[in-house]
Copies of this chain bind each other. A is one copy, B any other.
Amino acid sequence: MSTNREIHLAARPQGWPSADNFRLVATEVPTPGPGQIVVRNRFMSVDPYMRGRMNDVKSYVPPFALDAPLDGGAVGEVVASAADGFAPGDTVLHGLGWREYALVDAKAARQVDPDLAPVSAYLGVLGMTGLTAYAGLLDVAAMKPGETVFVSGAAGAVGSMVGQIAKLRGAARVVGSAGSPAKVERLLGLGFDAAFDYHDGPVYDALKAVAPDGVDVYFDNVGGEHLEAAIGAMNLHGRAAICGMIAQYNATEPPAAPRNLALLIGKRLTLRGFLVGDHGHLRGQFVEEMAGWLRDGKIAYDETVVDGIENAPAAFLGMLRGENLGKMLVRL
């Protein structure tokens, strides 16, 4: 039996994290107790929300513990099972990433079909990432056909889904911001009507140039200046689904805040924060619709894959810096 390797949180980052905040630890491959399975992880997800869990503050999920493995979405094969309904060879999705072998309560694992889609898709387009985009756009922001949608961080895993789902669901115009010319180019390839590099000048000016008739729905992955610009550009009765504020996750100063919130009144705007976990009731509908789009070749998804558990911290840091196109994954 081989060794298991996992990534521990060695120290809590102040501001931007670095490699020093992580530690690679070798342990023994676990043995399942009753109701448990052992999973050889094949892919693990690194996501923006994990940065918040590295702080020791009360939040919607408890902070990561020091000197213990991190966790997060992962998919892999069952190698040992002491649980009904799971057998070696099964492919499962679960929440104990950041390690090569995971000891998982069977109740917290979900069987997925590796013949229906590449297993990595269950972490992305068919998984939490896709559902986040779907629920935020259609449920939280209640996008209607004919509307104009603005997505920030649009070349990221969630953002690129939002834009494509918006088009498929009848948005009149979909525009996005991203952090490099290559990403902007990719957004146009994904069917965005227009996109801009937010480094090129004030976000508000760039947004008004690509959405001269205003924005009805804003899907916020960034916060800060992007949110202020969106509020400024929004039409009457506009809705913003606040999914993330990656611009400020590593801030050590109080972040920039929109100074134009009084516009919420006259324009009757709604800003609504959400977590995908509240929208599980949409999962069935989402999987059915998304699987259809994938089957018909109507939706594309990018993955940026880093190999090896030892490189998981680098993958996470790269994702925070925006080095990924689409979903950032670690192949184990």
Q: A residues touching B (Cβ–Cβ < 8 Å)?
A: 52, 59-60, 223, 227, 236, 242-245, 248, 254-255, 257-259, 261-275, 278
In angstroms, Cα B48 to Cα A97, docked, is: 54
Known pairs A244-B265, A261-B271, A270-B271 / 15 extra A-B pairs, C-beta < 8 Å: A60-B266, A60-B267, A242-B264, A245-B261, A245-B265, A255-B262, A257-B257, A257-B258, A264-B272, A266-B273, A267-B273, A268-B274, A269-B273, A270-B270, A271-B271
In angstroms, Cα B266 to Cα A278, docked, is: 11
| Identical chains bound together, number | 2
Q: Which residues of B contact A236 (CB under 8 A)?
A: 60
Q: Which residues of B contact A223 (CB under 8 A)?
A: 261-262
In angstroms, Cα B243 to Cα A255, docked, is: 25
Contact B268 A270 (CB under 8 A): no
In angstroms, Cα B270 to Cα A60, docked, is: 16
Interface of A is mostly: loop
- A and B contact pairs by CB, cutoff 8 A, 14 listed: A52-B266, A60-B266, A60-B267, A223-B261, A242-B265, A245-B262, A254-B259, A258-B261, A264-B273, A268-B273, A268-B274, A268-B275, A270-B271, A272-B272
Q: Which residues of B contact A266 (CB under 8 A)?
A: 52, 59-60, 273, 275
In angstroms, Cα B262 to Cα A265, docked, is: 20
Q: Determine how close the nearest CB of chain B comes to the CB of A230; give it in whole angstroms.
A: 12
Q: Which residues of B contact A258 (CB under 8 A)?
A: 257, 261
Q: Determine how close the nearest CB of chain B comes to the CB of A98; give it in whole angstroms.
A: 21
Contact A261 B270 (CB under 8 A): no
* A259 contact from B255, B268, B269, B270, Cβ within 8 A: B255
Most buried by B among A227, A264, A267: A264
Contact A257 B265 (CB under 8 A): no
Most buried by B among A254, A255, A257, A273: A273
- Which residue from chain B places its CB closest to the CB of A249 in the assembled complex? B262
Most buried by B among A255, A261, A274: A261
Q: Determine how close the nearest CB of chain B comes to the CB of A264; give it in whole angstroms.
A: 3
In angstroms, Cα B223 to Cα A291, docked, is: 45
In angstroms, Cα B262 to Cα A227, docked, is: 11
Q: Which residues of B contact A257 (CB under 8 A)?
A: 257-259, 261
Q: Which residues of B contact A254 (CB under 8 A)?
A: 259
- Which residue from chain B places its CB closest to the CB of A224 in the assembled complex? B261
Q: Which residues of B contact A274 (CB under 8 A)?
A: 265, 268
- Which residue from chain B places its CB closest to the CB of A242 in the assembled complex? B264
Q: Which residues of B contact A227 (CB under 8 A)?
A: 261
In angstroms, Cα B258 to Cα A144, docked, is: 30
